[in-house]
Amino acid sequence: MAENDRTLRTTDGESSADVKHLPVELLGWGRNRLRDLPWRQVRDRWSILVAEVMLQQTQVARVEEYWWRFLDRFPTPAACAEASAGEVIAEWVGLGYNRRPLNLHRTATAVVDRHGGVVPAVLADLLALPGIGPYTARAVLAFADEADVGVVDTNVARVLARWVGRRLTGSEVQYLADASVPLGEGWAWNQVVLDLGATICRARTPECWQCPLNAHCAWRQQGDDPAVGSAGVSRRQKPFQGSDRQGRGLLIAALASGPVTAPELANTMGWPNDQLRVERVVTSLVAEGLVISDGFCYTLPGGLEV
């Protein structure tokens, strides 16, 4: 596979060290190897937006079940905005990171208020929505509108850092991703690079002998991994068992079925002998708007019909 001879310049126009773009031949290698994922069969911006928010730090297999169910309940931004935040959070229970459904509810409300209920197709408008960052905004454009923009998640950022053989800045990694997209191939190209990172150029067990970039990859498992500490590459998460995240999730799951009183909090969250921890975590949930309290009774925001 031949190298592309273009070199990288950062988004502010400053010249970087010679950094080769990903070769366009990668598209031919990966087009027929794409994973069969349900959100790849649609081009609706709301459906894509929901999928991409769900996929953040969550395994694909878990998202498939929830995606269908969530869209059945909230098929449009208007349907989501009309529901209470608590109803949206309850539909999310089990996926974790419950700030995501709260932000998605806020996003749906903003789409209705600012864009007539239609998810916008302009990058700046997408980035202005609550909780929508560069990855999700570009994913909506690439996968719903097939725009020629580079989508950078942790898998893509890892591929790019290993390809060039050094850590990249945020400006560099996004520019390299954008500039590597072949003209008119935004949808397929991004899916191929995402799958390459997810299935072959993995974080801990890369299968370099199967990688189509192997011949010209600057790393190839020689020396320290340049993806570690590179922009856009997430770090290994702390164990879930016994974490604050686990206690938060247990409480949210309980609240999806009805109110929880203050005396019930400790047992509900799995910390019957750690009242200080209970108070600290519950206080953070209230501050984030995920939980509502009158000082004695705790509920999801907006109440919940059960």
Q: Where are the beta strands (DSSP E) in the chain?
A: 7-9, 15-20, 260-261, 292-293, 297-299
Tell me how far apart the alpha carbons of residues 259 and 291 are, in angstroms, rounded to a whole number. 10
Tell me how far apart the alpha carbons of residues 165 and 8 are, in angstroms, rounded to a whole number. 13
Q: Which of 25, 52, 82, 288 is catalytic?
A: 52
Handedness of CA 223, 239, 152, 174 (dihedral sign): negative
Q: What residues contact residue 128 under an 8 Å CB cut-off, 6+ apart?
A: none
| Residue 18 three-state SS | strand
Report yes or no: 52 and 40 within 8 Å, Cβ to Cβ: no
Give me the half-sphere count of Cα atoms (radius 13 Å) on the Cβ side of residue 282.
29
| Residue 112 three-state SS | helix
Is position 279 annotated as part of the catalytic site? no
Catalytic residues: 52
